[in-house]
Amino acid sequence: MIILVTGTPGVGKTSVAKEIARKLSLEYVHVSEFVLKNNLFSSYDPVRETYEIDDEVVARSLNEYLKTKDAVVESVYPSLLDNADLVIVLRRNPLSLYKELKERGWPELKVAENVEAEAIGYVLQEAMDWFGNACQVDTTGRKAEEVVNLCLKKDCEDIDWLSDKRVQELLFSLDNVIISNEK
């Protein structure tokens, strides 16, 4: 059994994925740690403070590793997995996510790109395109245990951040950050 827990950074993937793995006695696989441990990154982006990967190289290695495993896999990139028995996309209100990522001390560009990705449902769309279905769960203001229970019950939600005027205003300001960094 493979359970994929995905979503943008800051939505609670690590806490939720680890707890699901513990409750179901499954191995926990953090894809970023897997990439670093197996030296699967191609370069480091100092502006975004992140490692860059070749998706095909990582996917090949990860899927080979998972072939005989029962695991909960945590990843920002759903399309790295060939298959999953359950795909959970954790979501968080972009206004709350913005505060979280800023508190982490992330560079403004990295914050802007990740909050925009959450607002437009980028990871959800990738999961839907890749697997055909996914269970969305809103983590905003919820404790990890509550989110885990919703995930295990497959109590999925429809989430549309773009209908919130405050989120739209935030997106306009984040666009300015991204544009100013492209110059």
- Give the residue ranges of the annotated binding site for ATP: 10, 12-15, 104
Read off φ and ψ for residue 69, nearest 5 degrees. Answer: -105, 155
Read off φ and ψ for residue 171, nearest 5 degrees. Answer: -60, -40
14-26 per-residue burial string, b: 16 or more CB within 10 A, e: under 16: ebbbbbbbeeeeb
Q: Taking the CB of residue 30, how many other CB atoms lie within 10 A of it? A: 18
In the annotated binding site, the residues are 10, 12-15, 104
How many contiguous H segments (helices) and E segments (strands) does the chain have? 8, 7
